[in-house]
Amino acid sequence: MASPAQQLPPGWAAEWDQNAQRYLFIETATGRTQWEEPFLDPEGALNPVPTASPPPGQHHTKRRQYAAGQTQAYYGADTIAPPPGPAYGAVPGQPAQPSQLFTPGLAAEGQFAQQQIGQPGQPPYYGGAQPEPEYINQPGFGQGPVYQQPGVGALADQFSQMNVGQKGLRLFTTNLLTAPPEPLELHRPPPDIILPPNSCLSNSPFANADPSYQRCTLNAIPTSNSLLNKSKIPLGLVITPYRSLKEGDDPVPLITDTVIARCRRCRTYINPYVQFIDGGNRWRCCMCSMSNEVPQLFDWDQVRNQPGDRWARAELNHGVVEFVAPTEYMVRPPQPAVYVFLIDVSHNAVQSGMVATATRTILENLDRIPNEDNRTKVAFIAFDVSLHFFSLPAGTSDSSMLVVSDLDDVFLPKPTDLLVNLTESRAAIENLLGRLNDMFTENHVIGSALGPALQAAFKMMAHIGGKIVVLSSSLPSLGAGALKNREDPKVLGTSKESALLQPASPFYKTFAIECSRAQVSVDMFLFSAAYQDVATLACLPRYTSGQTFFYPAFNASRTEDAVKFAHEFGEVIAMPIMLEAVIRVRASKNLRMSAFHGNFFVRSTDLLAMPSVPQDVSYAIEIQIEDNLTAPFVVLQTAVLHTTCFGERRIRVVTTALPTTSNLSEVFASADQVAIATLLANKAVERSITHKLEDARDALFNKMVEILSAYKASMTAAGAGASAQLAISENLKMLPVLILGLLKNVGIRQSAQIPPDLRAYAQCLLTTLPSQLLIPYIYPTFYSLHNMAPECGTVGEHGIIMPQPLPLTSERLERHGLFLIEDGQNIFLWVGRDAVPQLVMDVFNLPSYEVLRGGKTTLPVLDNPFSQRVNAVIQKTREMRRGVYYPHLYVVKEDGEPPLRLWALSCLIQDRADVLPSYQQFISQLRDKVNGSSY
Amino acid sequence: MGASGWLFLFSVLMAAGLLFTMVFFIIMFSDLECDYINPIDLCNKLNQFVLPENIAHAFLALLFLLSGQWIAFLLNAPLLVYNVNKIRNSNHMYDATEIFRTLPNHKKESFIKLGFYLLSFFYYLYRMILALIQESE
Ligand SMILES: [Zn+2]
């Protein structure tokens, strides 16, 4: 379906969805949306069922009818013909009774098993003999998601207005025992935010922040804490305030006139949810109801120097805006960006090629380091058992090295020319980077004085602040912060394992606090093949809002390793960063931010200190309902006061308004499973460190049981008794499989084989990845490439068309097939043992499966369409998400080396893996627990 | 005044001192909640008092043990074990990075200790008076 827009029946529009990478079809009259292409049937009624050959199994057909039926019930539309087959759902206009709730799986008992067996008939390995693309068979989604997302534009506007009249969200129950997880569900936008009429000043679709900036676990906030407790769903906010802009994203509107209207009492920034009163001279705060004066220059256009249109102001139309801050918001003049590179030059580091790759990458990216105002400063310190400083005077290309061996009392060997202006000393910097590796090629020193090196860097930059970028290949062994190898295989898998995830030395915490005070943040790039104590070293980024990157057993002689590190390192140093930032989240009365998760230092009860804010890092905040909420809607506002890397003080304000509800079914219907999984991942990691890994797993499992029990008790007819089904609302259908994915993630998984460094790094990822990257990390994507539809991998109207994602079970693997499994950090190309030579030839340029080697690889681009399509799919996989990560590509042979095979198979989380249950077993465990517990 | 009289007089004074330390801790914690102090300064300040407080309490318990005041010793034993255990696990110090997460626990602990020192203050006072009366008879 290259261009569906032309083939649509009247009354339909197609909208490209960036997240799902497919078209979303919208019926313009009702706002109904679905993933499948609508067809005009002979009666003239719109029916989303394609008339082409029926898909294997009747499963999909029924589900489609269900979707159509529920749409009809929801909208009461009489233009839609009644769906054929059994009529599900409530009759239009009638309120849903718990006992009449529809459970789609019930009528389709046993079909899950049928689907698990796989598709009958082996399709040819490729060539597109399939009569229709797989995804036409996807269930239609009929609940009309109103997602106010840039790009949807006028249409979203249209249907958000229509929804104003609707009374809240409708709940649809599904039975987990019979409804298998559907990967596409995860690409759906969160449930609609249906605000009461007239709550927003603006008709703009951007009045509420896009979920990629800020999303709440519940899109309808319960009016009381007891109602929230009844639902058992954790209430929290997932924020990514400094999200990067991909091609096609709208930039954040900037307000340059420094007229910043804020509430006198609660300091809330003016936003689209305030009310103008007193003839527009005053405004009422949406959080505390305080009446405030409108600033004098609010209606004045300072650019043209004439009266302006208040209603056109960005802060009244956009949920995400940025103000240029006047001097009141500055403690000191905006600081320049400062980068101090600490490079490990001990024997291991040089031999692995890390030093060469790093210096080359810095050299190549010197022009990309943020330096618009020519104020950026850099410094380089090389360290092994002593510290090597480099004097880089401006205007010459000479650099000289100064060695300091006194590690107990670190001092700077020279007061000037160590931290230098990037523009002025450019020649000297280039010269140094060009020969740094050669200076140490003969270095046989083993040992690392990382602690003293950090102290020296801190001394150099503490008066300005900025970023320390550490590149280290060994365990710190000298001076302050020296660590011991505490890896003990006997401890792994026991209750003592969590001690290995806690910092071993208090130095890294106290130093981090000092850094945070001086506005210094630390990024860690770690490379060791041996134990490096990632858990301890990651403490520095953890409390100074930096990031940790880990390249275990890095070896630059493998091109793949060098490419991955160079790409990620280059992106990190080229990334525009926010400096000297503080974040405060304000919320309507009676809502309180109660706990914070992520990389920052909590400076007061609700203030997060971040010396620098990297792009595309996520934070999770738990919210407590302190007293009953009486307002019809609440507002959550995140404000980030920061200095841009080109020296401008700014405030980024992200505002989300959410309706309140006293109806438990609406609470369930508004739950956002992706946000819940993100919040639970953060909580699980915290628990695994403060308690035990086992406690973290139990807490996850019990949380899921609690939610299911609460749902069963209050939303189904079974109530407290035993039930043959396991009910959950349609919008939470993927939560159990996400929890299972978390339980099987390297950071949390029960295993005695996971090295503590890998575990600690996985935990770093779990707590920093934004939802877009986190979800594939816990629920990987799985494609079948050998029989993908002919258009997959070719360039469509909106970039490369991706194949249909499959459920994560090895039953989908075929012996003659080629599959791709990716979790955003790694890509596995699985080759079945009976792969025909033609396939191996076309993709790998090798004569047969036998000569194919497994492991890290770079796929050749060959002169045949299939190779190009596979390469396109891989390239798109690497580029489609925000973030700096560049996944490795591994070729995995079905009968290849067991470790790699098992690693790839561990991504298929719906399978059983030693002690870890399969999805079916997990669901039965949940059911037994839910039926056993008495609620 | 006999030995036990002196002992309990000393204990009364110690208990009063410990009592004030706990009041100080609690005031500092509520200052933190109201943003009057930042967590780094708070922890630096309180951490100076943690070990002296524990040592003072341990010293008192040791005195009871050496002088054969079994009841008084047994009353203090649980807290002594608790403190020793905390120091052995090296989590007796306040951690500025975790303080907001653990604040409710710290407050609870300080209130319980406050109550304990208050009760022991009156107990020591009673024992002191008792010792004085016994002497005078
Ligand atoms: Zn206010």
pLDDT digits (tens, 9 = 90+) for A109-161: 333 333 333 333 344 444 433 333 333 333 333 333 333 333 333 343 444 44
Separation between Cα atoms, residue A146 and residue A24, nearest integer Å: 12
CA distances from A604 to A607, A668, B97, B102 (A): 5, 33, 11, 13
So what's the pLDDT on residue A845?
86
User: Which amino acid does the sequence have at A639?
Assistant: A
Å between A517 CA and nearest CA of chain B: 9
B39 touches chain A (CB under 8 A): yes
- Chain B's closest residue to A540, CA to CA, is B97
Asked whether residue A801 carries a pLDDT value surpassing 80, the answer given is yes
State the smallest CA–CA distance between residue B33 and chain A in angstroms: 6
Residue A119, CA atoms < 13 Å, CB-side half-sphere: 16
- Overall domain count for chain A: 5
A249-291 pLDDT, tens digit each: 888 999 888 888 899 988 999 999 998 888 888 899 988 888 8
Helix, coil or strand: residue A285: coil
Contacts of A604 in chain B (CB under 8 A): 32, 35, 38-39
Closest CA to A647 of A334, A249, A268, A896: A334
Tokens matching residue A869: 């399509």
Half-sphere exposure of A397 (CA within 13 A, CB side): 6
A47 vs A870, residue with greater confidence: A870
Query: pTM to 2 decimals?
Result: 0.82
Nearest in space to A668 (alpha carbons), one of A34, A92, A96: A96
**pLDDT band at A738, cuts 50/70/90?**
very high
Helix axes A507-517, A450-461, angle to 10 degrees: 10
Q: CA of A123, closest CA in chain B: separation in Å?
A: 56
B136 touches chain A (CB under 8 A): no
Tell me, yes or no, whether A439 and A426 share the same domain: yes
pLDDT at A203 over 70: yes
- pLDDT higher than threshold 70 for residue A598: yes
- Which position has the token pair 């600690």? A760
Give the bridge partners for A343, in sequence order. A382, A471
Mean per-residue pLDDT, A835-860: 86
Residue A236 has φ and ψ, to the nearest 5°, of -165, 170
Q: What are the residues whose beta carbons fall under 8 Å from the beta carbon of A720, sequence distance 6 or more?
A: A713, A934, A935
CATH assignment at residue A20: 2.20.70
Q: What is the distance in A from the centroid of ligand 1 to the CA of A294?
A: 13
Number of Cβ atoms within 10 Å of the Cβ of A204: 18
Q: Do B39 and A602 touch (CB under 8 A)?
A: yes
Tokens encoding A573: 């140093």
Highest averaged pLDDT of the listed ranges A67-81, A673-687, A711-725: A673-687
Q: How far apart are CA A761 and CA A745, in angstroms?
A: 12
Domain shared by A237 and A286, yes or no? yes
pLDDT in tens, A508-524: 999 999 999 999 999 99
- CA angle (A189 as vertex; A183, A192 as ends), nearest 5: 135
Q: How would residue A23 be classed by pLDDT, with cut points 50, 70 and 90?
A: low
Structural tokens at position A820? 């791709």
User: What is the per-residue pLDDT for A727?
Assistant: 84
Residue pair A540/A550 in contact (Cβ under 8 Å)? The answer is: no
Q: Which helix (H) or strand (E) holds A769?
A: none
CB contact under 8 A, A605 and B35: yes
Domain boundary among A556, A575, A594: A575
Chain B nearest CA to A438, separation (Å): 41
The mean pLDDT of chain B is 89
Confidence label for B25 from pLDDT (cuts 50, 70 and 90): very high
- Check whether residue A517 and residue A637 sit in a common domain: no
Q: Does residue A657 surpass a pLDDT of 80?
A: yes
* Mean pLDDT lowest among A54-58, A657-661, A813-817: A54-58
Least confident of A52-56, A495-499, A643-647, A877-881: A52-56
The pLDDT value given to residue A31? 52
CATH number for position A397: 3.40.50.410
A582/B contact by beta carbon, under 8 A: no
Q: Are residues A349 and A437 in the same domain?
A: yes
Residues A525 and A515 in one domain: yes
Are residue A715 and residue A846 in the same domain, yes or no? Answer: no
Measured distance CA(A532)–CA(A485) in Å, rounded: 8
- Averaged pLDDT for residues A295-306: 82
Largest CA distance in chain B: 58
Contacts 24+ apart (CB under 8 A), A694-703: A694/A495, A694/A750, A696/A748, A697/A743, A697/A748, A697/A750, A700/A739, A700/A742, A700/A743, A700/A748, A701/A739, A701/A743, A701/A925, A703/A232, A703/A234, A703/A739
Q: In terms of domains, do A745 and A893 share one? A: no
CA distance A522 to chain B (A): 16
Cα distance from B95 to chain A (closest Cα, Å)?
9
Tens of pLDDT, residues A752-765? 888 889 999 999 99
Residues A216 and A295 in one domain: yes
> Does the structure show a pLDDT above 90 at A237?
yes
Chain A residues whose CB is inside 8 A of the B99 CB are 602
Q: Is the dihedral of CA A365, A368, A369, A372 positive or negative?
A: positive
Tell whether A267 lies on the interface with B, counting CB pairs under 8 A: no
Residue of A nearest to B101 (CA): A595
Under 8 Å between Cβ of B114 and B19:
yes
Nearest residue on chain B to A609, alpha-carbon basis: B97
Lowest mean pLDDT among A139-153, A180-194, A287-301, A658-672: A139-153
pLDDT digits (tens, 9 = 90+) for A352-382: 989 999 999 999 999 999 988 889 999 999 9
In this complex, do A513 and B97 lie within 8 Å of one another by their Cβ atoms?
yes
Cα–Cα–Cα angle for A878, A544, A364, rounded to 5 degrees: 45
Print the domain residue range for A561.
337-485+497-575
For residue A293, report the distance from its CA to the centre of ligand 1, in Å: 12
User: What pLDDT, on the 0 to 100 scale, is given for residue A277?
Assistant: 87
Helix axes A756-768, A673-690, angle to 10 degrees: 140
Yes or no, beta carbons of A513 and B95 under 8 Å apart = no
Residue A305 burial by Cβ neighbours in a 10 Å radius (0-12, 13-18, 19+): exposed
Region label for A382, one of left (φ > 0), alpha (ψ between -120 and 50) or beta (otherwise): beta
Shortest distance, CA A481 to any CA of chain B (angstroms): 17
Same domain, A742 and A651: no
Chain A: residue whose CA lies nearest to B91:
A506
- The residues that bridge with A13 in the sheet, in sequence order, are A26
ipTM of the complex: 0.84
Interface touch A512/B40, C-beta < 8 Å: no
Q: Compute CA distances A231 → A101, A377, A464, A663, A727, whole Å.
A: 18, 52, 48, 10, 14
Q: Is residue A146 within 8 Å of residue A117, measured between CB atoms?
A: no
Please name the residues between 513 and 532 in chain A that touch chain B, using a CB distance below 8 Å.
513, 517
- B13 near A CB under 8 A: no
Which of A595, A596, A604 minimises the CB distance to B38? A604
Residue A717: band (very low, low, confident or very high) from pLDDT cuts 50, 70, 90: confident
Q: What is the pLDDT of residue A114?
A: 39
Q: Which two tokens stand for residue A446?
A: 């083993």
**Mutant choice from A603, A622, A682 vs B, greatest count of B C-beta within 10 A:** A603
Residue with tokens 């039965």: A924
Kind plus residue range of the DSSP H or E element containing A358: helix A354-364
Residues in chain A closer than 8 A to B32 (CB atoms):
604-605
Q: Number of A:B CB contacts under 8 A? A: 27
Confidence of residue A10 (pLDDT cuts 50, 70, 90): low
Whether the per-residue pLDDT at A543 is higher than 90: the answer is yes
The radius of gyration of chain A from alpha carbons, rounded to an integer in Å, stands at 28
**Residues within 5 Å of ion ligand 1, judged at the Cβ atom:** A 263, 265-266, 268, 285, 287-288, 290
CA A589 to ligand 1 center in whole angstroms: 9
Q: What is the CATH number of the domain that holds A757?
A: 1.20.120.730
Least confident stretch, A162-166, A621-625, B121-125: A162-166
Closest listed residue to residue A394, CA positions, set A373, A366, A423, A414: A423
Average pLDDT along chain A: 80
Mean pLDDT of A42-52: 40
What's the Cα-to-Cα distance from A502 to each of A177, A505, A549, rounded to whole Å?
Answer: 39, 9, 18
Is residue A536 scored above 80 in pLDDT? yes
Distances (CA, A) of A657 to A108, A203, A273, A586: 39, 14, 7, 12
Do A428 and A509 fall into the same domain? yes
CB contact under 8 A, B40 and A517: yes
Q: How many residues does chain B have?
A: 137
Question: Which of A612, A641, A670 is the last residue in one of the domains?
Answer: A670
How remote is the CA of residue A169 from the centroid of ligand 1, in Å? 29
Which of residues 79 through 118 in chain B touch A, CB cutoff 8 A? 95-97, 99-101
Angle (CA) A253-A254-A255 rounded to 5° is 120
**A586 lies in the same domain as A660:** yes
Distance (Å, rounded) from C-alpha A184 to C-alpha A820?
16
Burial of residue A779 (number of CB atoms within 10 Å: 0-12, 13-18, 19+) = buried
Cβ contact, residue pair B100, A513, below 8 Å: no
Give B109→chain A minimum CA distance, Å.
Answer: 18
DSSP letters for A453-510? HHHHHHHHHTTT-EEEEEEE-S---SSTT-------TTTTTSGGGGGGGS-S-THHHH
Check whether residue A284 and residue A348 sit in a common domain. Answer: no
